[in-house]
Amino acid sequence: MAASQEMTASQPTCRKHKAPLCLYCVEMEELACEGCREAYGRKKYRFWPSQEAAKEHKVVLTISREKLLKKVEGHEKARRVFTDMAKHLKGQAQQTEREMKDEFEKLHRFLREEQEARIAALKEEEERKSGMLKERIEKITKELPSILDTISTIEKELQAEDIAFLQNYKTTIDKTWRALQDQQSQPGASNFMTQLAELMKLPGQVHADTVQRMCKHTPHQEPELITGALIDVAKHLGNLKFRVWEKMQGAVQHTPVTLDPNTAAPCLSLSEGLTSMKFCTDNPQLPDNPERFTFGAEILGSQCFTSGKHQWDVEVGDNSNWAVGVAKQSVARKGRSVQPGRVRGVLALCFVNGTYQVKTTNLPIQWRLQRVRVELDRSSGNVTFSDPVRNRPVFNVDVHYTEPVFPYFRSSCKKHPLQVAPERVSVSVQAPTQEEQGLFPQMFNWYL
């Protein structure tokens, strides 16, 4: 009795009815007493014994607590993933910066070597043509004093008395004709020289009118000026950047598809250029980001295809377990490996255990594929697999995806990689269209 009184004394009492709060009103979510139940009516409100209500509501909170614990677990997992992604992102940025610098250094090295080669060619032309001009200048400089001396002798003799003039005439005319002979190199001079040589054989037969006639019909004699003696500036500077860029194509490659490392399964190792993948057992620690395949040796290309026609070649070589094709953006990437050709969302040509398959169809290919070409036509929804080495079709299938599509690859061979083949790049020069040509006068008027 004392214990009951003590329990009653410890229970809170109703302010209105001064009775113990031994009930719980479900609708009002408050404690109540017997007087409250009589006052509010049993039909309008439900009253539960406090012990039963506490038990029921503890179950509700227990379930909610478990839900919150799972939420905490999810948050902790997400925080770990984000932390891993943040660390990986920093490493990615550093590695990408290093590789970017390496690639630019290769380009800089190519440009430096190309610059050195072209400057060397310019210097060689300068030295060669400078040497040629120097020889001509030295020759003329060497001949000029003799000519001037002959002119001086002639002028001196012309001022002499007739007897003295005639006494020295033979010596003077011989010297004069030798000087004329040394200078004859222009077109038409050969005929003059022939006539002059004949006259020199006939002493006493040379008359003034004969020499006057010969000189009149002979071109004015000057040292021959050569063409092409200056630097061929147009050869060195004309379209220089274009020709260097054109030559650079031999030093760089272009692949129509590059691999996306953020989608690569941890068991795949990628090349620096993101064009080759190989299965490896030493799996690096990678963040479990949403894009990444986590089980199979799978990866997507970085290019997203929503329209148009696209084509890429893959070097499969001696790889014994591979798949190449396309996958839609929503393809499953977590859990078990996506089986190409069997799970909706991936369409690929597979090679497993010496058998070629597309979907569940075994292909009766009698030769070993070394390279596979994938052709995607989004407008017609067609995917074609072929052998570009033998120029033979392999399989053609329609696939109608309404969402973006990505190149798909799988490689489970430990010995041999898969390699996206580079494509041939060509440069074509086109004349401007009539519309473009019409812009030139307008641009000219703007500058005026």
With b meaning 16 or more CB within 10 Å and e meaning fewer, what string describes 299-322?
Answer: bbbeeebeeeebebbbbbbebbbb
Q: Is the pLDDT of residue 36 over 50?
A: yes
pLDDT score of 294 more than 80: yes
Mean pLDDT (whole number) for 24-40: 85
pLDDT for residue 16: 84
Is residue 327 within 8 Å of residue 406, measured between CB atoms? yes
pLDDT of amino acid 182: 59
Q: How far apart are the C-alpha atoms of 26 and 22, rounded to whole Å?
A: 13
Question: Residue 382 is inside which H or E element, if any?
Answer: strand 382-387
Strand order in the sheet with 30-32: 30-32, 23-25, 47-49
pLDDT tier at 105, thresholds 50, 70, 90: very high
pLDDT tens for each residue of 71-102: 999 999 999 989 999 998 998 899 889 999 99
Task: Write down the pLDDT at residue 147.
Answer: 84
- pLDDT tens-digit map of 240-265: 998 998 888 777 788 999 999 999 99
Write the single-letter amino acid at 439: L
Distance CA 156, CA 175 (A): 14
Q: How far apart are CA 232 and CA 230, in angstroms?
A: 6
Our measurement of the distance from residue 409's CA atom to the centroid of its chain's CA atoms, rounded to an integer in Å, reads 21
Phi and psi of 17, rounded to 5°? Answer: -105, -5
pLDDT of 122 higher than 90: yes
For residues 122 and 150, which has the higher predicted lDDT (pLDDT)? Answer: 122
What pTM does this model have?
0.69
Q: What is the pLDDT confidence band of residue 134, given thresholds at 50, 70 and 90?
A: very high
Which fold is adopted by the domain 2-45? Double Stranded RNA Binding Domain (3.30.160)
Gap between the Cα atoms of 326 and 314, Å rounded: 13
pLDDT at 443 over 50: no
pLDDT bin (cut points 50, 70, 90) of residue 272 is: confident
With 60 as the cut, is the pLDDT of residue 441 above it?
A: no
What pLDDT was estimated at residue 437? 58
* pLDDT of res. 175: 81
- Checking if the pLDDT of 309 tops 80, the result is yes
User: Cα separations (Å) of 119 from 113, 124, 133, 243?
Assistant: 10, 9, 21, 15
**CA-based angle 390:394:399, to the nearest 5?**
140
Classify the C-alpha dihedral 276-282-283-285 as positive or negative. Answer: negative
Res 276: pLDDT? 94
327-368 pLDDT per residue, tens = 999 898 887 655 555 456 889 999 988 889 888 778 888 889
Considering only residues 325 and 6, tell me which one the structure prediction assigns the higher pLDDT.
325
- What are the tokens at 109? 């090295």
The whole-number pLDDT of residue 319 equals 93
Q: Kindly state the DSSP code that residue 388 receives in the 8-state scheme.
A: T
CB 348 within 8 A of CB 358: yes
Pick the CATH number of 261-420 from 2.60.40.10, 3.90.1170.50, 2.60.120.920, 3.40.1440.10: 2.60.120.920
Residue type, 225: L
- The predicted structure's pLDDT at residue 144: 86
Please give the DSSP secondary-structure letter assigned to residue 427: -
Indicate whether 52 pLDDT > 80: yes
- Is the predicted pLDDT of residue 23 greater than 80, yes or no? yes
Name every residue whose Cβ is closer than 8 Å to that of residue 17 and which is 6 or more positions away in sequence. Answer: 33, 34, 35, 36, 39
pLDDT band at 140; cut points 50, 70, 90: confident
Q: What is the mean pLDDT of residues 370-380?
A: 93
* Domain ranges across the chain: 2-45, 261-420
Q: For 181-214, what is each residue's pLDDT tens digit?
A: 655 444 444 555 566 566 655 555 555 666 666 6
Coil, strand, or helix at residue 313? strand
Q: How far apart are CA 329 and CA 345, in angstroms?
A: 8
Segment 308-313 shows an average pLDDT of 94
Q: How does residue 269 score in pLDDT terms, banded at 50, 70 and 90?
A: very high
pLDDT given for residue 442 in this prediction:
52
152, amino acid identity: S
| pLDDT for the residue numbered 92 | 87
| Helices 162-183/50-158 angle, 10° precision | 160
Q: What is the DSSP annotation of 173-207?
A: HHHHHHHHHHH--STTHHHHHHHHHHHHTSTT---
Confidence of residue 26 (pLDDT cuts 50, 70, 90): confident
- Position 207 scores a pLDDT of 58
What pLDDT does 296 receive? 82
Angle of CA points 419, 422, 425, to nearest 5°: 175
